[in-house]
Structure 1
Amino acid sequence: MDSSSRENMQLFCKTSVHPVERPSCKSEYPSSSEKQPCCGELKVFLGALSFVYFAKALAEGYLKSTITQIERRFDIPSSLVGVIDGSFEIGNLLVITFVSYFGARLHRPKLIGGGCLVMGVGTVLVAVPQFFMERYRYETYSFSNSTFNLSPCLSASNPELPISVMEKSQSQKHNECETDASSSMWVYVFLGNLLRGIGESPIQPLGIAYLDDFASEDSAAFYIGCVQTVAIIGPIFGFLLGSLCAKLYVDIGFVSLDHITITPKDPQWVGAWWLGYIIAGVLSLLAAVPFWCLPKSLPRPRSREGSSSSSEKSKFIMNDDTDFQASQGEKTKIMEMVKEFLPSLRSLLGNPVYFLYLCASTVQFNSLFGMVTYKAKYIEQQYGQSSSKANFVIGLINIPAVALGIFSGGIIMKKFRVGVCGAAKLYLGSAVFGYLLFLSLFSLGCENSDVAGLTVSYEGTKPVSYHERALFSDCNSRCKCSETKWDPMCGENGITYASACFAGCQISTRTGKTTIFYNCTCVGTSTPQSGNSSGMGGRCHKDNGCPQMFLYFIVISVITSYTLSLGGIPGYILLLRCIKPQLKSFALGIYTLAIRVLAGIPAPVYFGVLIDTSCLQWGFKPCGSRGSCRLYDSNAFRHIYLGLTVILGTMSIFLSIAVLLTLKKNCVSKHRSFRTKRERTMNKSSTKVKKENCATSDHSLQPSYWPGKETQL
């Protein structure tokens, strides 16, 4: 074809208004100036989306690792920490529905890039209170001057002792009350996490749907599995970063560490919780860059060009910008999308498979969110481990098992070409076996530490009941001790005392960061034979087989995490395949919304409220208001934490069974409908053939009949 003919045909293609003529013209007579999309842009998007998932997952994992650090730094209970943790989901709640619905019709990569910028700013904002608060103060009887001997047990009979050390003047209390107001700066942590949730809202629904739109059917599950696997690697680095920062003192760089008398094993220790948020925020800002260079749409694979499984084939997305603008204005387009919102929502919630799966996932994520949020705290309180070690174990051992489980689920779906019913079975099976293994953790707990007046009597002979708990005893009755002070001391008898004052200690000396107390009347009372009445600052370590129990806990926890995560990708595929193709992004958005609102927000809160009920000793702020918990009942903590997780998991299993039964019922009804339709088609075809045969038979008789008739006439 000559150049003039080609130009005429291109002009015809541009001016043609027929919706079918134009694509055919483009395919047969491509313009020399038309920009051909790069075949590797999907992989660029996959890499960029994976990095975003890594950045946001790192920040989320780091937040979980700093739960106890934030609780101690701002001196707040676990229930309030749960509210801070749930603020991320509250941010999602504000915009996720509109972003997932309207975002599918707009430039999805740029929306994801803008979300990354907002998420990065919010992450950095979480660390801001550290730079405006007063330096962290912990309760202690020790002084930096090692030559100064302080008697913890101050009494009226010893007037020469510095009473002002124990009893603060009114001016000191007033100043402390003013500085106590800085603890309300946890609101900035709440707002920063809220902003982080707003920025994260377009990443999951738009990113996953974008991959599923332009990837082949066989590769879609594998790509989603890769993204989810990278998303699990993020918390690994998040918890490892949390472990590293927990070893650093909270005010590192602001105070001299030589004057810090506590160690990371001390229950009052607070690590540099703010440092990781700055690192995670910078990563989120960098992750936004690639998305501004990606196109709105990518070339579709040949295997899916004629398929209707992609949301790009929907009535909203299938037309290009030129065609749509030629027929309607942008204002009309928005109005149509608004009108379709409620019908689309009714269509989703009216789908029984989607609705049941949504309920099952919501209940299961209640279980998982509550468990993960307080897992580090559970390890600290149950097995007596430091915050740094608890985060290290979770990040290096537990989370890789989750990543391996998610990746294995994607491999299984791709290799065995598992269908929708098979995905539902795999999702159900992983939940059943996972929670059965989880039940064994009830037997892997440690008994309460021996704490005088709280878990055992001062004589150390028997456990005390709730009504018998009292920190005061005859051995420390002459000491002027404060019930609100918590500076534990480990006696030579293996019993922990709330403070050296409650142990009745008369003399204290400090060497380096180690404080030793002597002439402790309460310690001597419980050990009358040896008469040893000394002790050392800090809680006594659990030695009643607890280290061995901790190893068993790690093994069972790893296997359970792998088993539960194995159903992650099958669940995603089930979600994507059980709804209409044009509602894919919207379905993911509603799914994310339900998880955030009904699981992410309430689960950490009511888990924290129930965990607070197991507190044995509360701390108090300088003004007298209640602060964070100093000591938990290990048995009650274990039963609440594990029991609530198992109950919610069992409920999700029953709902998953309902999903599978509904799927099978739909498959049977569709099969019967198909057979009935096929039989009707075959009957119609048979009837048509018979009529044709009859017509052929009559026609063959016409030559002999009609001449005779004509003869008779």
Structure 2
Amino acid sequence: MNEQTLFLVALSFVYFAKAFQGSYMKSSVTQIERRFDIPSTFIGVIDGSFEIGNLLVIAFVSYFGAKLHRPRLIGAGCLIMAVGSFCTALPHFFQGPYKYETTITQSSEKNLTHTMLPCQKSCEKAAGSSLWAYVFLGNMLRGIGETPVMPLGLSYLDDFSQEENTALYLACIQTVGIIGPMFGFLLGSFCARLYVDIGAVDLDVIAINHKDSRWVGAWWLGFLVTGAVMLLAGIPFWFLPKSLPKQESKNSKKAVNGTQGEQDFLPSLKRLFSDSVYILIICTSLVAVSGFIGMITFKPKFMEQTYGQSSSKAIFMIGIMNLPAVALGIITGGFVMKRFKLSILGAARVSVTTSLVSFCLLLTQYFLQCRNAQVAGLTVSYEGLPEVSYEPETLLAQCNTECSCSLKHWDPVCASNGITYANPCLAGCQTATGFGKDMVFHNCTCIGEVPILPTNMSATLGQCSRSEDCDKMFKFYMAISVLGAFVSACGATPGYIVLLRSISSDLKSLALGMQTLIVRTLGGIPPPIYFGALIDQACLKWGTKRCGGRGACRLYDTDAFRSRFLGLIYGLYALSYVLWALLYKRLVQRHKKKAAEPEAVNQEGNDDSSKNTQDETGQEPEKETNI
């Protein structure tokens, strides 16, 4: 294997590895939120730390990167990304065993009396410890390490490859990179089904399963895997030379590069941002990316809360269905561009059309709803009537007022009437039999409040399953989601072509760099935060830390969740289409202007030639022949 092939293979593997890492982080958001007992707003801050890391070094990499040993910088970036993954997993080894929220003492048979959990001064600090800072730092290190990969890798590749081969090499690299997210989400699904302390505790005494909102999967395990893969991916770059011989010299290309290097930065930046088309492209990309980042960050939680799916299944469905559809859509969009040889206006039309079709499909998701999970005192009354309440006092009823029940703790039980109660005490249960996941509660007085006959007065651990109609609705949702992902991805390549063909060749590198900087900063950091803040407002029941204090949300009002989550996405995407309309109008005006310029020049040339057909001697001058 020659050095050019080695670099191509190594860079492809790095693209796979960094996509593998990033998608696993997205798939682990829910598990991290539960493990550290933090709200969605805060998890949005942690998720945005990747882009913060990018910002810290992007200026250094952009200015000095090309002057230094580019392969070794990429290798160093891979090492930093690997360290970031390992750092993210560190809290698991410092925190000790996970103690989920419960008020139940395990025994084979007992009478139930309500007891508050023991409270110590240090327990609140232990439960809400600052070890999440390692996750924040690790994600930021990944952002720092990822910065040199794309600009330095692609410039190094372009320097040695033939001009006609560059597009093929890029396609190969991006195709391999597309596979990364699929593996990342599949790994996330696998780890979410494993208990967080697997191998360290007896799973028989764990009274919850992977469908419970208190369940925490082995989130840390995947970061060790992705870190090892990234560490392996960076090894070849330490053995590559600073530069490679060009496969075929292109003088014209060197001339362009030389001109670009001699330009002053500030005048070039002023020229770039004086271009209204570029400004509109930036704004359109920023708004669209904001909607996409917010959607992909909380999509597993949306599927879990709206359709009653487990976190692991939601992540698995995204990895096995949505992401392959995206990959196929990107390839299809590239094929359409090549097959029909579309101009910039044609590419814009394809991009706008696919975006609008996918938006219409996204709109239909709003109507694919399931009713709220039936939880007494939160989504239904103790008589079984629909009644959404955000007030904890509604958890009390005549059937449980004398039990001195805690209103804070979430320890759900499923009654024989199909209604979930927040804990056995609130269900009025008096005795229990069994052990672990097999515990059964008896003589539950509140169950008899629901006018459903015949029924018994028992309940089992865990939240009641959603109706079969909800499972059918989830299948419709997935079908529309996959189709929408494919159609939307078909417009990705044409949209990128619009950017490339709208900018002067001498400003292209600067334009791409500035677009990446702006979109990653404003489209990558704030959306997870304000999406999370909006989602938190739909929480009906917050978890409780070991000694008080609000933890992660256990139950959402699914109607409010859907309205806020999808409504914000709809608003951002609708704004992006308004900007697309303005951009397309400006592109048409520019196209007409350019088309009119040659005609004016030709007309002016004809007028001049008619006036000067003879020289001072009265003879027609000789014409030059260009071969």
Counterpart residue number, 1:173:
120
Report the 3-state secondary structure (helix = DSSP H, G, I; strand = E; otherwise coil) of the residue aligned with 1:136: coil
Task: Kindly state the Cα deviation for residue 687 of structure 1 after the two structures are TM-superposed.
Answer: 3.8
Task: Kindly state the Cα deviation for residue 341 of structure 1 after the two structures are TM-superposed.
Answer: 2.4
1:423-438 aligned within 5 A:
423-438=347-362
1:110-259 aligned within 5 A:
110-145=72-107, 147-151=108-112, 153-154=113-114, 166-169=115-118, 172-182=119-129, 184-211=130-157, 220-259=166-205
* Cα distance in structure 2, aligned partners of 1:227 and 1:97: 25
Counterpart amino acid of residue 120 in structure 2: K
Counterpart residue number, 1:602:
526
Aligned pair 1:381/2:305, yes or no? yes
* Cα distance in structure 1, aligned partners of 2:393 and 2:117: 27
Task: Kindly state the Cα deviation for residue 585 of structure 1 after the two structures are TM-superposed.
Answer: 3.0
Counterpart amino acid of residue 314 in structure 1: G
Task: Kindly state the Cα deviation for residue 87 of structure 1 after the two structures are TM-superposed.
Answer: 0.5
* Cα distance in structure 1, aligned partners of 2:548 and 2:453: 41
* Cα distance in structure 1, aligned partners of 2:346 and 2:255: 23
CA contact (8 A) 2:51 2:140 kept: yes
Q: 1:313 to 1:685 in 2, by over 3 A?
A: farther
Counterpart residue number, 2:26:
64
* Cα distance in structure 2, aligned partners of 1:88 and 1:397: 26
Counterpart residue number, 1:48:
10
Counterpart residue number, 1:292:
238
1:313 equivalent among 254, 257, 260? 257
Counterpart residue number, 1:279:
225
Report the 3-state secondary structure (helix = DSSP H, G, I; strand = E; otherwise coil) of the residue aligned with 2:440: strand
2:558 equivalent among 608, 628, 634? 634
CA contact (8 A) 1:401 1:558 kept: yes
CA contact (8 A) 2:392 2:407 kept: no
Counterpart residue number, 2:602:
678
Aligned pair 1:475/2:399, yes or no? yes
Range with greater deviation from structure 2 (90-99 or 70-79) = 90-99
1:535-556: CA deviations, max 9, x gaps? 1111111105100000001100
Q: Percentage identity across aligned positions? A: 50
Counterpart amino acid of residue 489 in structure 2: S
1:322-366: CA deviations, max 9, x gaps? xxxxxxxxxxxxxx78xx222222222222222211111110000
Report the 3-state secondary structure (helix = DSSP H, G, I; strand = E; otherwise coil) of the residue aligned with 1:197: helix
Q: TM-score, normalised by structure 2?
A: 0.93
Counterpart residue number, 2:448:
524
Aligned pair 1:578/2:527, yes or no? no
Task: Kindly state the Cα deviation for residue 426 of structure 1 after the two structures are TM-superposed.
Answer: 2.0
Task: Kindly state the Cα deviation for residue 447 of structure 1 after the two structures are TM-superposed.
Answer: 0.8
Counterpart residue number, 1:18:
none
1:568-591: CA deviations, max 9, x gaps? 222222223322334333322211
1:69-93: CA deviations, max 9, x gaps? 0011000000000111010011112
CA contact (8 A) 1:100 1:586 kept: no
CA contact (8 A) 1:108 1:206 kept: yes
Q: 1:97 to 1:355 in 2, by over 3 A?
A: farther
* Cα distance in structure 1, aligned partners of 2:159 and 2:599: 31
Counterpart residue number, 1:617:
541
Q: 1:187 to 1:385 in 2, by over 3 A?
A: same
Task: Kindly state the Cα deviation for residue 106 of structure 1 after the two structures are TM-superposed.
Answer: 4.4
* Cα distance in structure 2, aligned partners of 1:56 and 1:311: 34
Counterpart amino acid of residue 116 in structure 2: E
Q: 1:505 to 1:57 in 2, by over 3 A?
A: same
* Cα distance in structure 1, aligned partners of 2:620 and 2:559: 90
Counterpart amino acid of residue 662 in structure 1: R
Report the 3-state secondary structure (helix = DSSP H, G, I; strand = E; otherwise coil) of the residue aligned with 1:267: coil
* Cα distance in structure 1, aligned partners of 2:428 and 2:216: 28
Q: 1:274 to 1:150 in 2, by over 3 A?
A: farther
Aligned pair 1:588/2:532, yes or no? no
1:99 equivalent among 61, 73, 82? 61
1:369 equivalent among 293, 300, 317? 293
CA contact (8 A) 2:193 2:312 kept: yes
Task: Kindly state the Cα deviation for residue 301 of structure 1 after the two structures are TM-superposed.
Answer: 6.7
Range with greater deviation from structure 2 (660-669 or 476-485) = 660-669
Range with greater deviation from structure 2 (630-639 or 277-286) = 277-286
Task: Kindly state the Cα deviation for residue 565 of structure 1 after the two structures are TM-superposed.
Answer: 1.2
Report the 3-state secondary structure (helix = DSSP H, G, I; strand = E; otherwise coil) of the residue aligned with 2:382: coil
Counterpart amino acid of residue 177 in structure 1: E
RMSD: 2.5
Task: Kindly state the Cα deviation for residue 508 of structure 1 after the two structures are TM-superposed.
Answer: 1.1
Counterpart residue number, 2:624:
none
CA contact (8 A) 2:106 2:435 kept: no
Q: 1:239 to 1:686 in 2, by over 3 A?
A: same
Task: Kindly state the Cα deviation for residue 693 of structure 1 after the two structures are TM-superposed.
Answer: 7.3
Report the 3-state secondary structure (helix = DSSP H, G, I; strand = E; otherwise coil) of the residue aligned with 1:424: helix
Aligned pair 1:407/2:348, yes or no? no
* Cα distance in structure 2, aligned partners of 1:112 and 1:480: 61
Task: Kindly state the Cα deviation for residue 525 of structure 1 after the two structures are TM-superposed.
Answer: 1.8
* Cα distance in structure 2, aligned partners of 1:120 and 1:585: 28
* Cα distance in structure 2, aligned partners of 1:418 and 1:307: 25
1:534-549 aligned within 5 A:
534-543=458-467, 545-549=469-473
* Cα distance in structure 2, aligned partners of 1:693 and 1:604: 78
Counterpart amino acid of residue 54 in structure 1: F
CA contact (8 A) 2:123 2:546 kept: yes
Report the 3-state secondary structure (helix = DSSP H, G, I; strand = E; otherwise coil) of the residue aligned with 1:120: helix
* Cα distance in structure 2, aligned partners of 1:233 and 1:692: 73
* Cα distance in structure 2, aligned partners of 1:293 and 1:693: 72
1:186-237: CA deviations, max 9, x gaps? 1110011011101111223333455556656665455434433332211110
Q: 1:568 to 1:495 in 2, by over 3 A?
A: same
* Cα distance in structure 1, aligned partners of 2:5 and 2:346: 28
CA contact (8 A) 1:226 1:407 kept: no
Q: TM-score, normalised by structure 1?
A: 0.82
CA contact (8 A) 1:405 1:562 kept: yes
Report the 3-state secondary structure (helix = DSSP H, G, I; strand = E; otherwise coil) of the residue aligned with 1:371: helix
Counterpart amino acid of residue 68 in structure 1: T
Report the 3-state secondary structure (helix = DSSP H, G, I; strand = E; otherwise coil) of the residue aligned with 1:619: strand
Counterpart residue number, 1:343:
267
Aligned pair 1:444/2:359, yes or no? no
Report the 3-state secondary structure (helix = DSSP H, G, I; strand = E; otherwise coil) of the residue aligned with 1:132: helix
Counterpart amino acid of residue 571 in structure 1: G
Report the 3-state secondary structure (helix = DSSP H, G, I; strand = E; otherwise coil) of the residue aligned with 2:173: helix
Range with greater deviation from structure 2 (241-250 or 46-55) = 46-55
CA contact (8 A) 1:51 1:287 kept: yes
Counterpart amino acid of residue 40 in structure 2: S
Task: Kindly state the Cα deviation for residue 298 of structure 1 after the two structures are TM-superposed.
Answer: 5.2
Counterpart residue number, 1:658:
582
- How many pairs does the alignment contain? 621
CA contact (8 A) 1:134 1:179 kept: no
Counterpart residue number, 2:625:
none
Counterpart residue number, 2:35:
73
Report the 3-state secondary structure (helix = DSSP H, G, I; strand = E; otherwise coil) of the residue aligned with 1:627: strand
Counterpart residue number, 1:87:
49
Task: Kindly state the Cα deviation for residue 499 of structure 1 after the two structures are TM-superposed.
Answer: 0.5
CA contact (8 A) 2:75 2:238 kept: yes
- Unpaired segments of 5 or more residues in structure 1? 1-37, 155-165, 318-335, 698-713
Counterpart amino acid of residue 174 in structure 1: K
